[in-house]
């Protein structure tokens, strides 16, 4: 069976510090991978998605970046965090377009102070 | 461009009663999928149900059913026999079959009362 992991679960970082969030998927190969951000009480905003190693599509221009160094690993990074980067970050995967549902990781709650 | 609208910020339902959560969508793609997710207070996103745009029958999964009205561009979620554990945020989402992006609505908070 497939599982998706994210870490850390929670993170408190000062403004201007770097960020690295990691997501890994087990039990499948060549998944589509996604990073979402959710502000408190709001819907999900797609940040990045990847259909393969080294292939990253950015949906929202900002100070975040994403990388996919391995088939089942997706990393969200920032060189300098802003207060507005606070939120709940969710990684997701699916195995194709159309009717394939996306499966979500447990999320990382980031607070920038 | 695709858009999902959930007009109910919050809903209350009595335990054991049915509740309908509204969702309307807008898309120019002829082939698409509609999804509902549940997000409890823990934050995890739980997939509930899927409806394809060409499906003739409304999707059902246990106590969840999707009332799909294509001409009205609506995909309402019906939860029958509500339970206290159904209290959560519910998101409607859609994706064109030609693409990868899943577009979410703003969500509806459901509270089940005992």
pLDDT tens column, A18-62: 999 999 999 998 999 999 999 887 889 999 999 999 999 998 867
Nearest chain B residue to A99 by CA distance is B33
Nearest chain B residue to A95 by CA distance is B100
Q: Which of B103, B45, B106 is nearest to A6 (CA)?
A: B45
Nearest chain B residue to A47 by CA distance is B101
Look at residue A97 and tell me whether its pLDDT is greater than 60: no
For residue A99, the model assigns a pLDDT of 62
Q: How far does A83 lie from chain B, in Å, by closest CA?
A: 21
What digits encode the pLDDT tens for the residues B40-81?
A: 999 999 999 999 999 989 999 999 999 999 999 999 999 999
- For residues B112 and B13, the answer to whether their CB atoms sit within 8 Å is yes
For residue A24, the model assigns a pLDDT of 97
Which residues of chain B lie closer than 8 angstroms to A103, CB-CB?
Answer: 47
Cα A100 to Cα B11, B17, B49: the distances in Å are: 29, 31, 11
Rounded to whole angstroms, the Cα distance separating A82 from A13 reads: 10
User: Given pLDDT bands bounded at 50, 70 and 90, which one contains residue A113?
Assistant: very high
For residue A71, the model assigns a pLDDT of 95
Give yes or no for B100 touching A (CB within 8 A): yes
CA dihedral B96, A6, A35, A49 (to 10 degrees): -70
For A39-88, the DSSP string reads -TTS-EEEEEEEEETTEEEESS-SSEEEEEEETTEEEEEESS--GGG-EE
């Amino acid at each position: 069976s497939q599982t998706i992991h994210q870490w850390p679960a929670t993170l408190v970082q000062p403004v201007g510090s770097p960020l690295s969030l990691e997501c890994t998927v087990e039990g499948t190969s060549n998944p589509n991978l996604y990073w979402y951000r959710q502000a408190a009480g709001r819907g999900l905003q797609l940040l990045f998605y990847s259909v393969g190693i080294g292939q990253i599509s950015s949906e929202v221009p900002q100070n975040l970046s994403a990388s996919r160094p391995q088939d089942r690993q997706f990393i969200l990074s920032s060189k300098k965090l802003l207060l507005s980067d606070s939120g709940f970050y969710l990684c997701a995967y699916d195995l194709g377009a159309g009717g394939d549902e996306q499966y979500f990781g447990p999320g990382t709650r980031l607070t920038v102070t | 461009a695709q858009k999902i609208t959930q007009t109910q910020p919050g809903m209350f339902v009595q335990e054991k009663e049915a509740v309908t959560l509204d969702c309307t969508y807008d898309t120019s793609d002829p082939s698409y999928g509609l999804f509902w997710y549940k997000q409890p207070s823990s934050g995890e996103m739980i997939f509930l149900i899927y409806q394809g745009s060409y499906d003739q029958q409304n999707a059902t999964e246990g106590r969840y059913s999707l009332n799909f009205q294509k001409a009205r561009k609506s995909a309402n979620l019906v939860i029958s026999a509500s339970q206290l554990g159904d209290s959560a945020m519910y998101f409607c989402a859609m994706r064109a079959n030609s693409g990868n992006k899943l577009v979410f609505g703003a969500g509806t908070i459901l509270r089940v009362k005992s």
